């Protein structure tokens, strides 16, 4: 008998299902005690707990208590079902049967915390199938009216035909499980395997044996599923059929008919099942309590089977908590009371214990219908009445002790032996003490859940095969290059905004980022560059040439080389308007530096290419891949690139710093990075310094003693990773305020379909009483044309002088070629990062570019050649040369740490942008000597735009720009 004093530990944490009343807490503890005994294989008898109020006014509170118990058990991971609806039926018994039918849905059981897979109810479904067949035949079965079409037909055959049409399943249920025909695969697959073995034993070739098995598999599947109006061919082998024929609950069929199923006698087994089905159908047609009791028996047997410990999958060990059925309102409307009576009656007739625990609430007026009570009608008075929890345990012990005698056939059957009625006094329905903890049966995983080593080698092989296929599929989904069992983990797949795939990480072992670029549809052109005249090279060309250089280095100069990683945006997303212009031009500069270095230096340069995705949107993942690769390749001395200022730039730089890698960027103008990271070196003038230089022009536009309005118009980047725009807006606003402009509220414009929404902003700016004379535009180059269009047509701004300041992103604009334009009377002032014109006379960059870059051989190149005018290629070239210089001091390859230190001694003249000088770069501070160009763009009389350099400095020139030098006329 159960040891009721075995107490589970306290529940370790709070949850939404904690009991809210004192009685609920004690009942919850009692349930957990039973669950603890169930877990330890004691198999305690599970009563039907019927709770009711001693006062009718508390009926609703008792119903709420049952709901609290349900929530608590569901939070503890118990498989629970709760019945709160009223079911249709002419009688209370039929309504109870309908309730049991609803419980055959596996979705009714098992909350989100329940372990292992869903329940299966094959026996209960078989009973429902027969019941549905009887209902489909109607009143004309089994005895049709004289003269009807059914007269003279065998009623048994009519029943079997109807069941065959239903496929021996309840009507209106899904034909396949999980969308696949696997209902009989437990029999079809072994039969096919036997066919294969038989063919092998007959000395057939292996492919003949496998082919025979596959043909037999297909044949059986077609026979079992595709032919309408017939019973499944393996019906006689199903577990529900074996139960159907062996349970003593059902009235035996005619003694002349077979009464058992046999593996080797399918015809005899089929006749036995058909006879039993007809016998049961007749009983269901007659009505009465038989239908409900049969449904309860089937439910009970299915639950026993679902918790069978020594099953093939050890599911009983994996489900250590018994199932619970909660009836917050058990009454005549939903058949709850009849269900309780049926559960008790069926259990009294059977000899096995089942795991189902029922907790029901009944109204006070319905208590007389449940005659069983463990409380004596005239309880003896106690000197010190025990607490409710102690009384509850005593009641359970008394109930369990009396259970054997109460089930005796010789006893008067006016009681319900399996019902344990619990009256709840009013004082126990009040709130539980807040500090009181409740119990929870042990939640540690069972051994069967941790180790499952069953049964056959075939199953293991199947699992290994499936696991191999799944692993291969997962590797192909995750990595850019993968085989069946292995993958190149230096690069991974990621999704773009339009659902396409891009490759992120380092290109090693034959990976090419060009292979992941969008492919034009037939008749469609996908532009990867935004300039009016595209560079005559492609990313594919550059990757091939870099790979060729690397192969030569590894083949002929082992131990005499250093490795530099270029990290840039090498993905394109036409849907968002992003292009490869930056990545393609930067990669060209890196390759050019590699080609020149390897041609002229005894220490060679190996370049690895890393992709951070569209607009460097995945640069953190890229940095992690670089750091992981550098951990096992000591020749990697640093990184070139990361040329966009994003919210992820800090994390990216920190990851590379922790890996010991210095970063030399050509175009990232972030102000905070050199101040926060010792490994950060950049050729680009910082945003703050650029804005101060633009202030030299802003000061000339300011009329002393006159109020002049100015504002900052910035792109809204709240939902993006962009930080460059916010930095520009912040420093631009500070600059305008410093020069005495009256600042209007900053405006943020958003994008819709990749296009800026500027119309409403232009209207409010131009039609108000305070029209600004200066606008600092913190946006991107692709937004300039829409802005100029609005300012050129909006009353209040059109035809009136207006100055617009913006940052170095405008250096990518093609004003001379007609790619962008400015509105009439608007003057655009912007910074550029590379002063190429002055430096052109002192560098061999353009001759080297003509010799080595694809598509430029034998062409005369200048600083203003469209392929090089933006300065991206020049800055990437110079950054690579600077990093290589630090990594090969004294003509010997340096370590990663030495390269980092040597960078602060770099001073190289004759570069594309001037002199690269890091010798005066303070630690955690701003250096001087950046290249800078301030340009003025005005509209010409013919409608084109003309650009004029206002003032400039080449790299290495530390003389300050002055207002006199930057006169605007």
Question: How far out from the chain centre does Cα 881 lie?
Answer: 43
pLDDT tens across 43-60, in order? 788 889 999 988 888 888
Other CB atoms within a 10 A radius of the CB of residue 289 amount to 15
Cα–Cα–Cα angle for 722, 938, 728, rounded to 5 degrees: 20
pLDDT (0 to 100) of residue 182: 41
pLDDT bin (cut points 50, 70, 90) of residue 260 is: low
* Pairing between β-strand 802-806 and β-strand 636-641 as defined by DSSP bridges: unpaired
Which ranges of 632-758 does DSSP label H, i.e. alpha helix? Answer: 649-658, 672-676, 687-701, 724-738
pLDDT tens across 423-479, in order? 888 887 777 665 456 677 776 666 655 555 344 456 777 887 788 778 888 888 899
Mean pLDDT of the chain: 82
Q: Comparing 372 with 798, which gets the higher pLDDT? A: 798
Grouping H, G, I as helix, E, B as strand and the rest as coil, residue 146 is coil
Q: State mean pLDDT over 790-817.
A: 85
Please report how the helices 845-852 and 581-600 are oriented relative to each other, as an axis angle in degrees rounded to 10.
100
pLDDT bin (cut points 50, 70, 90) of residue 818 is: low
**Nearest CA to 360 among 17, 96, 39, 102?**
96
* Residue 505, strand partner residues: 491, 611
| Per-residue DSSP letter, 593 | H
Q: Quick check: 956 and 909 in contact, CB under 8 A?
A: yes
Backbone φ, ψ for residue 712 (5° rounding): -110, 125
Question: How far out from the chain centre does Cα 11 lie?
Answer: 31
Whether 886 has a pLDDT exceeding 50, the answer reads yes
DSSP string, 378-438: SPPPPSSPPPHHHHHHHHHHHHHHHHHHHT-TTS-S-S-TTEEEEEE-GGGGSBPPTT---
| Per-residue DSSP letter, 226 | I
Q: State mean pLDDT over 638-651.
A: 94
pLDDT (0 to 100) of residue 361: 93
Q: Quick check: 874 and 868 in contact, CB under 8 A?
A: yes
DSSP string, 42-76: ------EEEEEESSGGGHHHHHHHHHHHHHHHHHT
* Residue 964, strand partner residues: none
Lowest mean pLDDT: which of 75-89, 549-563, 717-731?
A: 75-89
In the chain the first and final C-alpha atoms are separated, in Å, by: 105
Q: How far apart are CA 238 and CA 187, in angstroms?
A: 9
pLDDT (0 to 100) of residue 685: 93
Residue 210: which residues within 8 A CB-CB, separation 6 or more?
196
Lowest mean pLDDT: which of 139-153, 590-604, 918-932?
A: 139-153
pLDDT (0 to 100) of residue 434: 58
| Per-residue DSSP letter, 325 | E
pLDDT (0 to 100) of residue 846: 92
Whether 5 has a pLDDT exceeding 50, the answer reads no
pLDDT (0 to 100) of residue 177: 44
**CA 576 → CA 456, 749, 784, distances in Å?**
54, 17, 17
Residue 634: which residues within 8 A CB-CB, separation 6 or more?
895, 896
Strand order in the sheet with 80-82: 80-82, 324-327, 357-361, 48-53, 419-424
How is the chain split among helix, strand and coil, in percent rounded to 5? 45, 15, 45
pLDDT tens across 175-198, in order? 544 333 444 555 555 666 666 666
**Nearest CA to 662 among 421, 896, 929, 468?**
896
Tell me the helices (H) and strands (E) count for the chain, helix number first.
28, 24
**Enclosing H/E stretch for 911:** strand 907-911
Residue 410: which residues within 8 A CB-CB, separation 6 or more?
none
Whether 607 has a pLDDT exceeding 50, the answer reads yes
Question: Left, alpha or beta for 799 (phi > 0: left; psi -120 to 50: alpha)?
Answer: left
pLDDT tens across 392-403, in order? 888 888 887 777
Whether 233 has a pLDDT exceeding 70, the answer reads no
Output the pTM of the full model.
0.57
**Nearest CA to 92 among 300, 330, 326?**
330
**Nearest CA to 815 among 943, 925, 683, 696?**
943
Which ranges of 202-265 does DSSP label H, i.e. alpha helix? Answer: 206-221, 239-246
**Nearest CA to 67 among 955, 75, 171?**
75
pLDDT (0 to 100) of residue 451: 58
pLDDT (0 to 100) of residue 181: 42
**Nearest CA to 677 among 701, 704, 649, 702?**
649
Task: Quote the percentage of the chain above a pLDDT of 70.
Answer: 80
pLDDT tens across 408-427, in order? 554 555 568 889 888 888 88
Q: How would you class 418 by CB atoms within 10 Å of its CB: exposed for 0-12, middle for 13-18, buried for 19 or more?
A: buried
Residue 140: which residues within 8 A CB-CB, separation 6 or more?
148, 150
Q: State mean pLDDT over 143-149.
A: 64
pLDDT (0 to 100) of residue 906: 95
- The listed range with the strongest mean pLDDT (202-216, 262-276, 307-321, 777-791) is 777-791
Q: Comparing 12 with 729, which gets the higher pLDDT? A: 729
Task: Quote the percentage of the chain above a pLDDT of 90.
Answer: 37
Q: Comparing 275 with 854, which gets the higher pLDDT? A: 854
Residue 751: which residues within 8 A CB-CB, separation 6 or more?
715, 716, 757
**Nearest CA to 810 among 647, 933, 916?**
933
Q: State mean pLDDT over 287-300.
A: 86
Q: How would you class 644 by CB atoms within 10 Å of its CB: exposed for 0-12, middle for 13-18, buried for 19 or more?
A: buried
């Amino acid at each position: 008998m159960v040891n009721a004093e075995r107490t589970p530990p306290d529940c370790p944490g709070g949850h939404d299902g904690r009991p809210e009343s004192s009685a609920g807490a004690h009942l919850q503890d009692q349930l957990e005690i039973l669950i603890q005994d169930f877990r330890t294989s004691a198999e305690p008898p599970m009563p039907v707990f019927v709770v009711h109020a001693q006062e009718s006014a508390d009926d609703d509170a008792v119903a709420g208590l049952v709901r609290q118990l349900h929530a608590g058990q569901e939070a503890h991971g118990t498989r629970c079902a709760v019945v709160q609806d009223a079911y249709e039926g002419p009688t209370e018994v039929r309504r109870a049967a309908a309730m049991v039918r609803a419980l055959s849905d596996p979705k009714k059981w098992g909350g989100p915390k329940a372990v292992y897979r869903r329940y299966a109810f094959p026996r209960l479904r078989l009973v429902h199938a027969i019941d549905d067949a009887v209902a489909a035949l109607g009143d004309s079965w089994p005895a049709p009216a004289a003269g009807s079409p059914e007269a003279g037909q065998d009623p048994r055959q009519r029943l079997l035909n109807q069941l065959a049409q239903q496929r021996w399943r309840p009507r209106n249920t899904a034909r396949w499980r999980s969308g696949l025909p696997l209902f009989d695969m437990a029999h079809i697959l072994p039969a096919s395997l036997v066919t294969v073995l038989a063919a092998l034993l007959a000395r057939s070739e292996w492919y003949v044996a496998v082919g025979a098995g596959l043909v037999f598999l297909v044949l059986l599947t077609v026979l079992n599923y595709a032919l309408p109006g017939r019973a499944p061919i393996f019906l006689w082998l199903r577990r529900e059929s074996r139960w159907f024929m062996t349970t003593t609950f059902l009235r035996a069929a005619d003694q002349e008919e077979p009464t058992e199923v046999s593996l080797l006698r399918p015809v005899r087994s089929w006749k036995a099942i058909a006879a039993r089905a007809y016998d049961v159908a007749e009983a269901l047609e007659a009505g009465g309590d038989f239908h409900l009791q049969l449904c309860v028996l089937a439910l009970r047997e299915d639950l026993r089977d679902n918790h069978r410990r020594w099953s093939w999958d050890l599911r009983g060990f994996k489900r250590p908590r018994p199932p619970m059925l909660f009836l917050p309102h058990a009454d005549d409307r939903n058949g709850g009371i009849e269900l309780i009576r049926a559960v008790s009656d069926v259990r009294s007739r059977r000899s096995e214990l089942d795991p189902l625990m029922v907790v029901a609430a009944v109204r006070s007026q319905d208590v007389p219908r449940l005659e069983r009570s463990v409380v004596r009608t005239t309880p003896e008075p106690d000197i010190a009445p025990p607490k409710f929890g102690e009384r509850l345990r005593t009641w359970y012990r008394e109930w369990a002790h009396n259970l054997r005698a109460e089930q005796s056939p010789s006893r008067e059957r006016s009681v319900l032996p399996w019902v344990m009625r619990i009256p709840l006094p009013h004082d126990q329905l009040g709130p539980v003490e807040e500090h009181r903890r409740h119990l929870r049966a042990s939640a540690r995983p069972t051994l069967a859940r941790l180790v499952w080593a069953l049964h056959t080698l075939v199953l293991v092989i199947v699992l290994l095969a499936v696991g191999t296929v799944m692993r291969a599929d997962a590797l192909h989904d995750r990595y850019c290059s993968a085989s069946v069992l292995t993958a190149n983990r230096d690069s991974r797949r990621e999704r773009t905004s339009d659902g396409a795939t891009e490759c992120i990480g380092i290109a090693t072992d034959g990976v090419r980022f060009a292979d992941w670029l969008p492919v034009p549809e037939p008749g469609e052109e996908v532009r990867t560059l935004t300039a009016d005249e595209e560079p005559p090279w492609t990313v594919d060309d550059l990757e091939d040439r870099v790979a060729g250089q690397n192969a030569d280095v590894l083949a002929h100069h082992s131990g005499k080389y250093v490795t530099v990683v270029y990290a840039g945006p090498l993905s394109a997303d036409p849907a968002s308007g992003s292009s490869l212009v930056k990545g393609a031009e930067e990669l060209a500069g890196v390759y050019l530096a590699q080609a020149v270095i390897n041609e002229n230096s005894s220490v060679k340069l190996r370049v690895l290419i890393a992709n951070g995705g569209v607009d460097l949107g995945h640069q953190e993942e890229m940095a992690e891949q670089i750091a992981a690769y550098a951990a096992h390749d000591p020749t990697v001395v640093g990184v070139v690139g990361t040329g966009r200022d994003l919210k992820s730039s800090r994390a990216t730089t920190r990851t590379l710093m922790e890996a010991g890698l210095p970063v030399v960027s050509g175009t990232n103008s972030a102000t905070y990075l050199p101040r926060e990271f010792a490994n950060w070196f950049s050729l680009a003038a910082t945003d703050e310094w650029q804005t101060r230089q633009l202030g030299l022009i802003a000061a000339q536009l300011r009329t002393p003693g006159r109020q002049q309005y100015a504002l900052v118009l910035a792109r809204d980047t709240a939902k993006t990773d962009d930080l460059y725009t916010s930095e520009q807006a912040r420093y631009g606003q500070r600059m305008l305020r410093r020069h005495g402009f009256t600042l209007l509220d900053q405006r943020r414009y958003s994008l819709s379909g990749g296009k800026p929404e500027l119309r409403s902003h232009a209207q409010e700016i131009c039609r108000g009483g305070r029209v600004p004379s200066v606008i600092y535009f913190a946006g991107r180059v692709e937004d300039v044309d829409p802005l100029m269009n609005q300012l050129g047509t909006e009353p209040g701004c059109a035809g009136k002088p207006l100055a617009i300041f913006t940052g170095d992103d405008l250096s990518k604009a093609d004003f001379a070629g007609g790619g962008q334009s400015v509105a009439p009377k608007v003057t655009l002032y912007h910074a550029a990062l590379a002063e190429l014109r002055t430096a052109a006379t002192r560098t061999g960059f353009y001759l080297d570019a003509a010799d080595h870059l694809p598509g430029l051989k034998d062409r005369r190149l200048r600083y203003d050649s469209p392929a090089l005018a933006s300065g991206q290629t020049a800055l990437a070239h110079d950054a690579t040369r600077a990093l290589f210089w630090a990594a090969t001091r004294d003509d010997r390859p340096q370590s990663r740490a030495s390269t980092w230190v040597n960078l602060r001694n770099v001073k190289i003249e004759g570069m594309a942008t001037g002199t690269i000088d890091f010798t005066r770069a303070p630690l955690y501070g701003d250096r001087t000597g950046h290249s800078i160009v301030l340009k003025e763009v005005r509209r010409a009389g013919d409608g084109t735009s003309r650009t004029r350099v206002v003032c400039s400095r080449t790299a290495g020139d530390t003389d300050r720009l002055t207002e006199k030098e930057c006169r605007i006329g």
